[in-house]
Every structure is written in C-alpha cells, then in structure tokens.
Amino acid sequence: MPYHPHDIEEIEGIGLIRGAAMRTQGITITEELLVYSVVHLRRLVRNVPNFPERKIAEYQVHATLMQVPGLSGQHAEALYRASRRSLLKLAVPQPSVIVRELDQAVAAGAIPESIDVAEAMNWQKRAIVLAYTGKIYGRITSAGPDGEPIAGATVYAGTETAVTNADGKYWLPLVTYGENNLIVHAEGYRRSKVTANVAIGKVARHNFRLLPGRDEERVVDEFHGQAIGLFDADDQFAFVDVELGDLPEGTPLFLNYRYKNGNIRLLSVYRKQTGRSIEVWRVTAPGTFVDTNAPLATVFYWEGGALRRTDETIYELREKIFWGHLRR
C-alpha cells in the first residue's frame, strides 16, 4: 500500500494547539521530525509559548515508530512508556511481549485497544526493514509562479510508493541503499524523474516542481491478451492489493510467499502497464487454499471459488501470452 504521511497532531501529546504552533514553523507531518536534529527542532519551537522543548526527542521516537503500518500515535506512546524507544527495540522481543505491554496500556486506560500476536509479528518485520533502509522526503508543487502544493501525487522508488498530502509533502520510508530512480506522477502534470542516492538510516531530500501537461502513456493490458515486452530502466512495479474473492474467474496466480502465521501471498501472472508503471495484483489468503507441499512459484487458477493447481510454469504462461499476442 502507498505510504501516506501523518499529520503532526497525530503524535500523542502534541494536540491541536501545539500542532498549530509547529505548523507555523513549517513542521506539518510527523515524519519531518526525523529530517531535522533535536537541536534544530528545539530552536524552532523555542519561541512557541508553553511548548516543552525537552519532549522533542520523545516526539522523534514516536514519529520513528509510527512509520510502521497500523502503529498509531497512541500505540507509539504506549511503546515509548514500555521503553521500546527504537525500531530495533520494537523488533527484538517475542511478539507476545509486545502484546502484553499494549494490554497493560489498555488496562491503564492509555490506549483503547491492543493488538494480537500476528499483528505484533508484522510490526516487528516492518521495524527490522525500516531500521536498515533509507528514507526519501520532499514536497511536490506546481512549476507556476505561485508554486501551489500538489496533493495526491504518487512517488515511486523501486517497489515503494508514497502519496502526497494536502501540503504536497511525501515520505518514502523503505528505500534500498544506493542509487534509486525517483519518479513522480500527478494528474494534469508531466512526469518527473531524478536519481536519488540513499544511505541506510539517512533521509535524502528531493523536492519537485511539476510542469502542467500530460505525458503520452501507452497502455498494455495482459489481462486482455496484450503482451508487455522488455522492461525499461524507468519502469516501476506497483503492487495492488486485491481480495481473493474479487478476482475475475480464471485469473492465473503464482505462489510468492508463505507467512509464519499460515497465510500465503500470491501475485498475478498477468500485468498491466500504464506508461512506466507496471501493475501487479497481490493477494493475501489463508494457506488452506493451497497444498502444503506446493513450492514457491507454483501456478494456480482462481476458478469456482478455489485455487486450482496447475503444472504450468510462470515462464510457460508468459510465453503463451507473448506468442498469443503475436498471432493476433
């Protein structure tokens, strides 16, 4: 799912009044607390009445933890109180320990609800990856004289995507080390691309000023008998989460991953390319839908509400798509 930045007020303890004060200093999303040093942030809020400068470091920890999908500001506050004050400290204990600490926060009235062990495991997996990847942050505006912010723009870096908020700001938290193609798409504007150099644990900053207009986008839909040819270096894969029951009858999928909780992940064999974006359907389902001995990359067809296993390989299916397209 695309990453959406959090409003600064979502951090527990900041609230509307302090949030409004931080907005006057240009800090409008929680992730911006990770862009600047504690010293710089304290300098920004020094003239804000009744703002606790000593809490800035704590708020940074909250913002760090809130990068984990599903981890709210209240959860971050509870974890901070339990001394889970970094991504690695969140990832280290048994998942049941995280659940117990949040259960205690619920009992104390600090948060409305806890999580289960499966969700704790998902948080921990994400926390480990977050700790060992880089981040990209920036703002997207129009290239006109007023430089209006562009909301709803999509930013791609590898397989990661982010969407800009009302201020045109975006945050990409899971960017691999080294050079990455950073591509921006926004309705009514020309596509823009830069090369971003990212270091582990660091934040690279890239702002964009988009020109109005429209790129010519070629649409190739393998779901309708067309075939995507060779990939270009600018092509970006976008994974779209789809429910198993919503798939069209006869959709071919291949087994991509088995989770420890018994669930499985399948990806569509067919893809749809719009311009430089290549859409792949991603399905998460109970492992009972497939044989326990089915190896990864096994191909299934969604038929009659069940996954039918086939001996066809992904390569054979893709070859069938290609040659079938040529014969048209």
d(CA 13, CA 18): 9
* Res. 233 pLDDT band, cuts 50 70 90: low
Query: Residues 126, 22: one domain?
Result: yes
Same domain? 125 vs 173: no
pLDDT in tens, 146-191: 889 999 999 998 878 999 999 999 999 999 999 988 999 899 999 8
Q: Are 252 and 222 in contact (CB under 8 A)?
A: no
Domain that includes residue 165, residue range = 134-210
**What is the percent of the chain with per-residue pLDDT over 70, rounded to a whole number?**
95
Task: Sort strands 192-198 and 160-163 into parallel, antiparallel or unpaired.
Answer: unpaired
The predicted structure's pLDDT at residue 145: 83
- CA dist., res. 10 & res. 90, Å (int): 20
- Let me know whether 205 and 262 are in one domain: no
Do 115 and 153 fall within a single domain?
Answer: no
Place of tokens 């359907």: 281
What CATH code is carried by the domain that includes residue 192? 2.60.40.1120
Residues 244 and 311 occupy one common structural domain: yes
Q: Which of 183, 312, 199, 192 is nearest to 254 (CA)?
A: 312
Reference 304, options 250, 238, 230; nearest CA is: 250
User: Phi, psi at residue 230, to the nearest 5°?
Assistant: -70, 145
Query: Does residue 259 share a domain with residue 190?
Result: no
Q: Which amino acid is at 52?
A: P
- Is pTM beyond 0.95? Reply is no
User: For 87-114, how does the pLDDT look when each residue is reduced to its tens digit (9 = 90+)?
Assistant: 999 999 999 999 999 999 999 999 999 9
Among 131, 147, 163, where does a domain finish?
Answer: 131
DSSP codes of every residue in 226-240:
----SPPTT-EEEEE
Q: Is 112 exposed, middle or buried (0-12, 13-18, 19+ CB in 10 A)?
A: exposed
Domain termination site, one of 164, 190, 210:
210
Farthest-apart Cα atoms in the chain, separation: 73
**Residue 146, C-beta contacts closer than 8 angstroms, at least 6 positions apart:** none
Q: Are residues 173 and 250 in the same domain?
A: no
Coil, strand or helix at 121: helix
In a domain, 3, yes or no: no
At residue 327, does pLDDT exceed 90? Answer: no
Number of domains observed in the structure of the chain: 3
